[in-house]
Structure 1
């Protein structure tokens, strides 16, 4: 099945004339910076069919004659084709008056051919545009939307006020086609898992490329605090909801959570193309924590940390080794952890912070080096 990139024209490829919003002369034609360079890379490197979809209200009327429209339109198409960018289809709605017209965005009357599930993968397709109607079109198609807004705050506000009309909307700046290219090339790394047993009920959602927006509740306050370190210092969004048999003890809650989190990391890393793979040494007051990681596909743990207290908060210190071992089993990674110092709280918190930094370093991707970091050819 083919993925499609539905691209609006005015305000997305070309700067929309600010007065009458009609691109009806060559003098008004101005392309967005870097659009040729990065749309050409999208066409060359990524597996999308490019489709132009544009509303041209009143086209063909006295106020917007067709003979003023087509010279600019032909120039746009020719300019992109000269750079290797070919639109497979160009859909122009010129219905006037356009009220309730089925062919006008955000309605899908022009695009019924793309509902063929044997040919098109709309779920993993995108609508790229600068208006809320473009995002509504994405929802109506069952695709994802990329909202290009000169003012990100304004775009986010519009999204917030129109949540019911918008599905999977991402806000980007309209004048930076490099960011659009990188977003499309670096596939979304947001995954979730539900793991239910007779001992625990676990839900975890992970965004490897987040900002430390965490919602964590395991029933163990200190464990919550440590998991929060992973999200915040690893720049990941982490939601963890756990109901465990704490009436027995803490073991199952901690072990099962880390197994599930490790499995989720492994899933989110996917084919591992472009990742750094390795990654931290971190001081915390009197303590020094060192965490080295290798997402090489094999589980292993080296643990060099001793604790003289039986518990820190509501967590048994004997579980620290075990929780990281559980993570390596799920994530199929190597971990080498060392910690030294006097304050037990600082020591383990330093370990979790260093672990988070190691994760952040290792999962980072380089859009210009999308190959496996290995001589084996497989991870």
Structure 2
């Protein structure tokens, strides 16, 4: 069975890099934040680890081998004590001006691995802190993760890397641009995070936050719309973009619950109470958009959101997500009723997108 390899740089990736770029004493040894729990998670996901490091002039008078070896051995011992072993440690000792074929980003050190058919190259990756590590990954044809550092930039931390590789997250980024709105939506269905919503409509932001929070997934949505005209385009297009992101993140929908309600059991509608109001939602990621709404509102607006647009939000969401949604609401206070609708749909989404295995939940063979 093939296994993926995580190739990792050493200085600045596993251990912090000092100002003089040489970890030549025990006092300089500091581990990068989050590296050990992240590597444990990746180990449990089946990854093997190989260190690939440039150590400029190692073994010369400028960088004696004995000053390198002690801190290096201690680093290896700490990893081993935590249950993290390395398949190999590959070190190039040349100076940059020598242009050695073994120096990253060149692949001279990788010759035995390029011939190894037991490696799952499709899942393998490289983690480093420098652009040369990214180029090394590109040369190797694997995914690159550049750690975020003040010296070299980058956008990743170890927690995010472990999530991206071990959890195989269902993510999507959708950009929707029209003459009326400019929208960016990002979702990660396998990670909970504080929702980040900016539409220019405070109450609508609060309602979309309910989708992410109670849906149990990471959601960010930024919309710049023609609010000088009215709210319609901003509200509608945000829902359309969110639905598209959900559909793209779900992919072929293998392993999902598919059906959801805001109750404890799939397919069983459960009323969600909010003070005097109750709302119920039942949905199906059938691929066939259909929306049924039973309810009404007395007020023209709640905050800056016209209540006539509330059903339209869910109808738009169904259209691009491929959802069949039945939504019912009763109550006296329109604020409570609107919020109950969003929370009920969110809880139904949480159940429907949950992973339950690898089977496609359809006798048709496609969703």
Q: TM-score range by the shorter chain?
A: 0.5 to 0.7
Q: Alpha carbons of 1:339 and 1:104: their partners in 2 closer, same or farther (altered >3 Å)?
A: farther
Specify the SS of the correspondent of 1:169: coil
Q: Is the Cα–Cα contact under 8 Å of residues 299 and 332 in structure 1 kept in the other structure?
A: yes
**Correspondence 1:371 to 2:359:** yes
Distance 1:169 1:9 in 2: 14
Distance 1:227 1:248 in 2: 22
Q: Alpha carbons of 1:234 and 1:146: their partners in 2 closer, same or farther (altered >3 Å)?
A: farther
In the superposition, the TM-score normalised over structure 1's length comes to: 0.64
Distance 1:9 1:244 in 2: 44
Q: Alpha carbons of 1:112 and 1:243: their partners in 2 closer, same or farther (altered >3 Å)?
A: farther
Q: Is the Cα–Cα contact under 8 Å of residues 191 and 207 in structure 1 kept in the other structure?
A: yes
Q: 2:248 aligns with which of 267, 270, 284?
A: 267
Q: Alpha carbons of 1:144 and 1:122: their partners in 2 closer, same or farther (altered >3 Å)?
A: farther
1:92 alignment counterpart = 90
Pairing 1:112-123 to 2, within 5 Å after superposition:
none
2:107 alignment counterpart = 110
Specify the SS of the correspondent of 2:168: coil
Distance 1:3 1:267 in 2: 28
Deviation of 1:146 (Å): 8.9
Q: How many residues align?
A: 310
Distance 1:251 1:225 in 2: 17
**Correspondence 1:234 to 2:212:** no
Deviation of 1:360 (Å): 2.1
Specify the SS of the correspondent of 1:165: coil
1:209 alignment counterpart = 190
**Correspondence 1:244 to 2:231:** no
Specify the SS of the correspondent of 1:210: coil
Deviation of 1:186 (Å): 3.8
Q: 2:304 aligns with which of 308, 314, 325?
A: 314
2:315 alignment counterpart = 325
Q: 1:290 aligns with which of 277, 280, 284?
A: 280
Deviation of 1:91 (Å): 6.9
Deviation of 1:313 (Å): 1.3
1:221 alignment counterpart = 202
Moved more, 206-215 or 321-330: 206-215
Specify the SS of the correspondent of 1:348: helix
Q: Is the Cα–Cα contact under 8 Å of residues 227 and 234 in structure 2 kept in the other structure?
A: yes
**Correspondence 1:127 to 2:126:** yes
What are the ranges of 5 or more consecutive residues in structure 1 without an aligned counterpart? 13-18, 21-31, 44-49, 65-86, 148-158, 174-178
What are the ranges of 5 or more consecutive residues in structure 2 without an aligned counterpart? 14-25, 28-35, 68-86, 115-119, 263-270
Distance 1:262 1:298 in 2: 13
Q: Alpha carbons of 1:124 and 1:248: their partners in 2 closer, same or farther (altered >3 Å)?
A: farther
Distance 1:203 1:38 in 2: 30
1:300 alignment counterpart = 290
Specify the SS of the correspondent of 2:282: strand
Distance 1:184 1:5 in 2: 11
Distance 1:105 1:349 in 2: 60
Deviations 1:287-315 (A, max 9, x none): 22212221121111121122121211122
Distance 1:260 1:288 in 2: 28
Instruction: Give the root-mean-square deviation of aligned CA atoms.
Output: 4.7
Deviations 1:106-149 (A, max 9, x none): 932336979x9xxxx99975226xxx6599724753533398xx
Distance 2:345 2:102 in 1: 47
Deviation of 1:99 (Å): 7.6
Distance 1:265 1:321 in 2: 19
Q: Is the Cα–Cα contact under 8 Å of residues 295 and 329 in structure 2 kept in the other structure?
A: yes
Q: Is the Cα–Cα contact under 8 Å of residues 300 and 333 in structure 1 kept in the other structure?
A: yes
Q: Alpha carbons of 1:242 and 1:8: their partners in 2 closer, same or farther (altered >3 Å)?
A: closer
Deviation of 1:268 (Å): 1.0
Deviation of 1:269 (Å): 0.9
Deviation of 1:8 (Å): 4.5
